[in-house]
């Protein structure tokens, strides 16, 4: 197995930044930390950006501290300041990101907080508005969360809708791990209500639906705690459900995501099983059970689940994939793979994550899987150019992390060139922590556009929305917008075009 080469970027401080800092200092003013050490063409780990120790109180959940610490108020503001660079004039639309934000700061796990969306609206090169809103679910309205005694099961809209957002058929939806999505108003992010596709959604809606770029169809699934454990659905470009199939699996497994190609739906059925008794006790309701086995399933896109074919693989876990595509008889799938998770009740991954390429040969009577290590490096929360979902891809974008055993220590943004094996990285500095980078199209070719990522600054207890060039992330942000409030670390984002 061949490992891709690694590339490091050295910190740089440009002459312009030096003169700017010197001039501001002479005037007796203070630069925002987002500007200090932000060199053109280099890392933000500048000479004035001294590391502040990141401490974790072991008596409290790490997901309630530091950059994860929840915020409790909702606000709207049009007083957004660009502290570096210029926002591209072509950038017009709404960036919206979902995350877990418990309203009482007592959530038993990072996954169990109330959903809170944060949005920034762009208008012709201007950051026009910021707002944050709780998703008004029954759990939020009643002030309860999963893990508390007598919490109702996550049936229908009774979920925290705290993982992701998707924009399809003119509707902005927020989604949790299970249950129905919620429709949000893009004008102010207020909650319209649970959305069940006109009564066609009966169990759950995945946090990671896929929009086929050729048809505009929305492909999605939901896993459930009783049969049918997995149901696959397709909604057409107008949002009408036109296809539903029950996918045969042996138990209720945590199936966080899936993939599509031009011809296939790809599932991974892995040994993290739902534990009802743990849920009743208020513990993490998932457990690592490797005896269940692990397998990859491939079925026709929009087709019959009876035609699904399975291939056994070594026990592992995958939250997120980069993309999948057809290469002749092979289905190629790039994933972020863990050896195990949720083992012995742990709330942090017990193994390092690596980039893997699964190549599934579908040409014979039985499927055969080749598992290649692309890069043995902790990269997660992958993004891709959504215009090539299900088609051969060259690029993937990831969040890097620093090695800790007591918390998730998010770091910078990396881009992987799967054609050359080159990894480019932006390190925002020791006191700044990037979140998932959302790709927004800005040109005809793959990767031509912008990456938007929320960055938490521990030194200022503040957050910036940073805009990067997807093909040159190592050059650092082309623009940084200081937000009027700190934004806790969260999960997944979406783009609503103007």
Residue-wise pLDDT for 123-156, tens only, equals 999 999 999 999 999 999 998 877 676 777 788 9
pLDDT surpassing 50 at residue 6: no
CB neighbour class for 290 (10 Å; exposed up to 12, middle 13-18, buried from 19): middle
Domain total in the chain: 1
Query: Does residue 38 carry a pLDDT above 80?
Result: no
Task: Answer whether residue 493 shows pLDDT above 70.
Answer: yes
Say what the pLDDT of residue 459 is: 95
Name every residue whose Cβ is closer than 8 Å to that of residue 369 and which is 6 or more positions away in sequence: 296, 311, 312, 313, 358, 359, 360, 361
CATH of the domain at 342: 2.130.10
State both tokens at 299: 């079925």
pLDDT of res. 144: 84
CA-nearest of 81, 173, 93 to 465 is: 81
Assess if residue 283 is contained within a domain: yes
Burial of 420 (0-12, 13-18, 19+ CB in 10 A): exposed
Q: Is 376 exposed, middle or buried (0-12, 13-18, 19+ CB in 10 A)?
A: middle
More confident residue, 9 or 463: 463
Nearest one of 270, 268, 269, 288 to 278, comparing CA atoms: 288
Helix or strand holding residue 26 (H, E): helix 15-26
Which pLDDT score is estimated for 29? 34
Q: Where are the alpha helices (DSSP H) in 233-348?
A: 276-280
Domain assignment present for residue 131? The answer is yes
93-100 and 115-122 beta bridge pairing:
antiparallel
Q: Can you name the residues that pair with 359 across neighbouring β-strands?
A: 332, 370
Of the two residues 18 and 368, the one the predictor is more confident about is: 368
In Å, how far from its chain's centre is CA 126?
25
pLDDT 10s digits, 347-390: 777 778 999 999 999 999 999 999 999 999 999 999 999 999 99
Q: Which domain holds residue 380?
A: 49-391+478-497
User: How do residues 80-112 score in pLDDT, each as one tens digit?
Assistant: 999 999 999 999 999 999 999 999 878 888 998
**Is pLDDT above 90 for 449?**
yes
Classify residue 2: in a domain, yes or no.
no
Reported as a single tens digit per residue, the pLDDT across 275-304 is: 877 766 667 788 999 999 999 999 999 999
Separation CA 195–CA 208 (nearest Å): 16
Residue 366, in any domain of the structure? yes
CA–CA distance from 159 to each of 141, 154, 368, 488 (Å)?
11, 5, 38, 20
Residue 397 lies in a domain: no
Q: Is the pLDDT of residue 122 over 80?
A: yes
Tokens 């960036």: give the residue. Answer: 95
| CA separation, residue 170 to residues 130, 216, 263, 336, 473 (Å) | 21, 12, 26, 31, 31
**pLDDT of the residue at 282:** 64
Q: Is residue 32 part of a domain?
A: no
Q: Tell me: pLDDT of 271 over 50.
A: yes
Q: Give the whole-number percent of the chain exceeding pLDDT 70.
A: 89
Question: With left for phi above 0 and alpha for psi between -120 and 50, is residue 134 left, alpha or beta?
Answer: beta
- pLDDT for residue 344: 78
User: What is the model's pTM?
Assistant: 0.90
Long-range contacts of 248-253 (CB under 8 A, 24+ apart): 248/305, 248/308, 250/292, 251/292, 252/223, 252/224, 252/225, 252/226, 253/223, 253/229, 253/292
Between residues 245 and 153, which one has the greater pLDDT?
Answer: 245
**In a domain? residue 450:** no
| pLDDT value at residue 149 | 67
Within-domain flag for 61: yes
């Amino acid at each position: 197995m061949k490992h891709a080469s690694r590339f490091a970027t050295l910190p740089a401080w440009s002459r312009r930044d030096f003169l700017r800092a010197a001039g501001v200092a002479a005037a007796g003013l203070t630069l925002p930390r987002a500007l200090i050490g932000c060199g053109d063409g280099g890392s933000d780990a500048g000479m004035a950006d001294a590391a502040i120790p990141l401490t974790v109180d072991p008596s409290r959940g790490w997901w309630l501290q530091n950059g994860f610490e929840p915020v409790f108020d909702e606000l709207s503001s049009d007083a957004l300041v660009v502290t570096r660079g210029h926002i591209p004039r072509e950038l017009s639309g709404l960036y919206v990101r979902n995350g877990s934000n418990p309203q009482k700061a007592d959530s038993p796990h990072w996954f169990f907080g109330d959903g809170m969306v944060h949005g920034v609206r762009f208008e012709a090169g201007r950051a026009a508005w910021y707002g944050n809103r709780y998703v008004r679910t029954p759990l939020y309205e009643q002030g309860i969360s999963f893990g508390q005694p007598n919490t109702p099961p996550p049936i229908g809209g009774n979920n925290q809708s705290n993982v992701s957002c998707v924009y399809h058929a003119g509707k902005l939806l927020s989604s949790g791990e299970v249950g129905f999505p919620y429709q949000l108003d893009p004008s102010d992010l207020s909650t319209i209500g649970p959305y069940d596709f006109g009564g066609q959604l009966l169990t759950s809606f995945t946090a990671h639906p896929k929009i086929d770029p050729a048809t505009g169809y929305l492909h999605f699934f939901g896993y459930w705690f009783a049969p049918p454990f997995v149901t696959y659905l397709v909604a057409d470009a107008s949002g009408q459900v036109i296809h539903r199939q029950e996918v045969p699996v042996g138990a209720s497994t945590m199936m966080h995501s899936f993939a599509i190609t031009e011809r296939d739906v790809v599932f991974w059925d892995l040994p993290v099983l739902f534990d009802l008794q743990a849920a009743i006790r208020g513990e993490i309701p998932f457990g690592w059970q490797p005896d269940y086995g692990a397998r990859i399933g491939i079925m026709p896109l929009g087709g019959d689940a009876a035609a699904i074919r399975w291939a056994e693989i070594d026990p592992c876990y995958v939250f997120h994939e980069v993309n999948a595509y057809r290469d002749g008889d092979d289905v190629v799938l790039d994933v972020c793979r863990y050896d195990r998770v949720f083992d012995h009740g742990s709330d942090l991954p017990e193994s390092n994550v690596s980039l893997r390429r699964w190549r599934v040969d579908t040409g014979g009577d039985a499927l055969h899987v080749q598992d290649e290590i692309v890069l043995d490096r902790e990269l997660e929360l992958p993004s891709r150019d959504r215009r090539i979902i299900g088609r051969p891809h060259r690029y993937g974008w990831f969040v890097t992390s620093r090695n800790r055993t007591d918390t998730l220590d998010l770091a910078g943004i990396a881009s992987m060139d799967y054609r050359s094996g080159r990894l480019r990285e932006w390190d925002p500095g020791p006191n700044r922590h990037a979140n998932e980078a959302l790709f927004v199209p800005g040109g005809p070719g793959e990767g031509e556009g912008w990456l938007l990522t929320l960055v938490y600054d521990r030194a200022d207890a503040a957050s910036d929305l940073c805009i990067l060039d997807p093909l040159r992330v190592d050059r650092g942000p082309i623009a940084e917008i200081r937000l009027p409030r700190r934004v806790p670390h969260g999960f997944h984002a979406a783009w609503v075009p103007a």
